[in-house]
Amino acid sequence: MRRFDDEDLTGAEFRECDLSRARLVGVVMQDAEIDGLVTNLVVNGVQVMPYVEVELDRRHPVRLLIRSDEPSDLREAWRRLRADWATTTERVLSMPEGSEHRGIDGEWSMVETLRHLVFVHDSWFRRCVLGLTEPFTPMGLASPFVPDQEEQGLDPSSRPSLDEVLDVRDRQGSEIETWLGEVTPEQLAQTAPVPSDGGWPPYARGRSVRQCLGTVLNEECAHHGFCVRDLDKLSGQEAP
């Protein structure tokens, strides 16, 4: 266990770090920001995550639909997620040229975010939900910890335009929409037909179809929030 005593960590940034069971005692934490998978967070003796989850549901009602096991709710969730991305696409097209390729604070640009969701679709929907073994879409963008990316079909040198990514996203979105239009609760509850060829994601075997679909929906929702957050920051920088 690492211990920090009387350290000045003002302005420190922890990225992709596991802080599980961390204890911050007698600390000064002003104007801090936490973004990630946070559960059972206790601040000054108060379990704060239930309050956070209620507020997030209020701001983003689609989260309630995403947690449902009813196909009709999942169809509506997918419709809203696609509508949200369409609105955000219109927004970035109204911003200064090249805004879709600009990242901020070390985060992905909008195009990179959409490329990551192309990869999420290929890995969690096509492989895990449909059981397909075809290579990933070359323009897809995986996280650095995903191994053997080129062997699985990804092209690290790919630099697609926004229009090129949107074309792929439209095809993928229609694929999920068609599937959701026919799926039953019984099919959602079945064990996902994850291929056993060692491709990504290796830890999905044994999960249900519903759980794998949930990963797709949660990724779509979360990354849309990240994208809107960063476009807000870009707009603030560009304002006179």
Q: Does 145 lie in the same domain as 77?
A: yes
- What's the distance, Cα to Cα, between the start and end of the chain in Å? 48
Q: Quick one: 211 and 154 in the same domain? A: yes
Clarify whether residues 226 and 112 are in a common domain: yes
Three-state SS string over 153-181 comes to CCCCCCCCCHHHHHHHHHHHHHHHHHHHC
Same domain, 140 and 48: no
Peptide bond connecting 156 to the previous residue in cis, omega within 30 degrees of 0: no
Query: In whole angstroms, what separates CA 10 from the centre of its chain?
Result: 28
What are the pLDDT tens digits along the chain (240 aa)? 778 888 888 888 888 888 888 888 888 889 888 888 888 999 999 999 999 999 999 999 999 999 999 999 999 999 999 999 999 999 999 999 999 999 999 999 999 999 999 999 999 999 999 999 999 999 999 999 999 999 999 999 999 999 999 999 999 999 999 999 999 999 999 999 999 998 999 999 999 999 999 999 999 999 999 999 999 999 987 655
134 and 161 part of one domain:
yes
As for how many domains the chain has, the answer is 2
**Nearest Cα to 177, choosing from 204, 227, 217?**
217
In a domain, 155, yes or no: yes
Tell whether 20 is covered by a domain: no
Shared domain check, 98 and 60: no
Within a domain: 2 = no
Phi/psi zone of residue 56: left (φ > 0), alpha (ψ -120 to 50 degrees), beta?
A: alpha
Query: Tokens in use for 194?
Result: 């994850």
- Whose tokens are 């350290």? That residue is 7
At residue 156, φ and ψ (nearest 5 deg) are -65, -15
Q: Are residues 134 and 50 in the same domain?
A: no
Range of the domain at 192: 70-238
Same domain, 189 and 85: yes
Q: What are phi and psi of 59, to 5 degrees?
A: -75, -35
User: For residue 169, what is the domain's CATH number?
Assistant: 1.20.120.450
Please provide the DSSP assignment of 18-45 as one string. --TT----S----S----S---S-EETT
- The answer to whether residues 93 and 211 belong to one domain is yes
* 143 and 156 part of one domain: yes
Q: What whole-number distance in Å separates Cα of residue 14 and Cα of residue 195?
A: 35
Q: Kind of pairing, strands 46-47 and 42-43? A: antiparallel
What is the separation of C-alpha 20 from the centre of its chain, rounded to a whole number of angstroms? 21
